[in-house]
C-alpha cells in the first residue's frame, strides 16, 4: 500500500490507507506509540492491528503523527497529536461517509490519544487500547467513557504499570451502558516481543465477539 498525504493542522500527514471493500463497510483508525520513543505507523503492533482490521473488511487508516516520518510539524505533547487524529478521522469519513461504524485502536501513547478521540467523536463505537499508559498520563477525561472496548496489558510491562491499568479498568467498569473487557498477557513486556501471537489472539477473540451480529454490545 503506497503512502498517501492527507491534510492536517500542521500540514501534510503521511498515512497508509486500505479503502473500504464495499458500501457501508466499517472504518478503523490505528494510532502508533510515542513519537519521541521511536514510535511510527510502521511499528510492529500498529501494523498488525492494521492488517487485522483490513482482513475483516474495514476501511483502515494508519498515519504518522506530526514530526514523524514525512508528516509535517513538531511533537506537541499529545495536544497536537489529538488534533492530527481528529483530522485523519475527518479525512477517512469524507472518503467513506456511509461507514456503518467507526473503531479506534492504539498502542501505548496511541492508546491514550485514541481514548481522548472517542470522547470527542460519538461515532466511535469500539476501541482497542494496548498498554494504555495509565501511570504516565491522566485518563480522568473518561468520565464517562462513551463506548465499549478492550484494554490489553502485558503482565511483565516495564513501562506501563499493570496495576495502574487495572485501576483504570475498575473505574471504567463502574459506568453504566458500556462493557469494558480487560486481558492480561502473561510474561509480556511493553512491546509484546515474545507474545505477539497471544496479543493478536486477544484482539481477534474480542473482534469476533463484537462483530458477531448477535453480540449484545453495540
Give the pLDDT score at 107: 98
One digit per residue, the tens of pLDDT, for the chain of length 218 reads 678 999 999 999 999 999 999 999 999 999 999 999 999 999 999 999 999 999 999 999 999 999 999 999 999 999 999 999 999 999 999 999 999 999 999 999 999 999 999 999 999 999 999 999 999 999 999 989 999 999 999 999 999 999 999 999 999 999 999 999 999 999 999 999 999 999 999 999 999 999 999 999 87
| pLDDT attached to residue 45 | 98
7 bridge partner residues: 12
How far is 87 from 147, CA to CA, in rounded Å? 20
What's the confidence (pLDDT) of residue 213? 92
What pLDDT is stored for residue 143 in this prediction? 86
pLDDT at 3: 85
pLDDT at 1: 65
pLDDT at 218: 74
Contact 26, 102 (CB under 8 A): yes
Cell of 1: 500500500
Phi/psi of residue 90, nearest 5 degrees: -55, -45
The superfamily CATH assigns to domain 4-211 is Alpha/Beta hydrolase fold, catalytic domain (3.40.50.1820)
Amino acid at each position: 500500500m503506497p503512502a498517501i498525504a492527507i491534510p492536517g493542522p500542521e500540514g501534510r500527514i503521511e498515512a497508509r490507507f486500505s479503502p473500504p471493500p464495499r458500501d457501508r463497510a466499517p472504518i478503523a483508525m490505528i494510532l502508533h506509540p510515542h513519537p519521541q520513543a521511536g514510535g511510527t505507523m510502521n511499528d510492529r503492533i500498529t501494523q498488525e492491528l492494521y492488517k487485522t482490521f483490513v482482513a475483516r473488511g474495514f476501511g483502515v487508516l494508519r498515519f504518522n503523527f506530526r514530526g514523524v516520518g514525512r508528516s509535517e510539524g513538531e511533537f506537541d505533547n499529545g495536544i497536537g497529536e489529538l488534533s492530527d487524529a481528529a483530522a485523519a478521522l475527518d479525512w477517512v469519513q469524507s472518503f467513506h461517509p456511509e461507514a456503518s461504524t467507526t473503531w479506534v485502536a492504539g498502542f501505548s501513547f496511541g492508546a491514550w490519544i485514541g481514548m481522548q478521540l472517542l470522547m470527542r467523536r460519538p461515532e466511535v463505537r469500539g476501541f482497542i487500547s494496548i498498554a494504555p499508559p495509565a501511570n504516565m498520563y491522566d485518563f480522568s477525561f473518561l468520565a464517562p467513557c462513551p463506548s465499549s472496548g478492550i484494554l490489553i496489558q502485558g503482565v511483565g510491562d516495564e513501562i506501563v504499570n499493570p496495576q495502574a491499568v487495572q485501576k483504570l479498568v475498575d473505574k471504567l467498569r463502574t459506568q453504566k451502558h458500556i462493557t469494558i473487557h480487560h486481558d492480561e498477557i502473561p510474561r509480556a513486556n511493553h512491546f509484546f516481543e515474545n507474545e505477539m501471537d497471544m496479543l493478536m489472539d486477544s484482539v481477534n477473540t474480542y473482534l469476533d465477539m463484537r462483530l458477531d451480529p448477535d453480540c449484545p454490545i453495540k
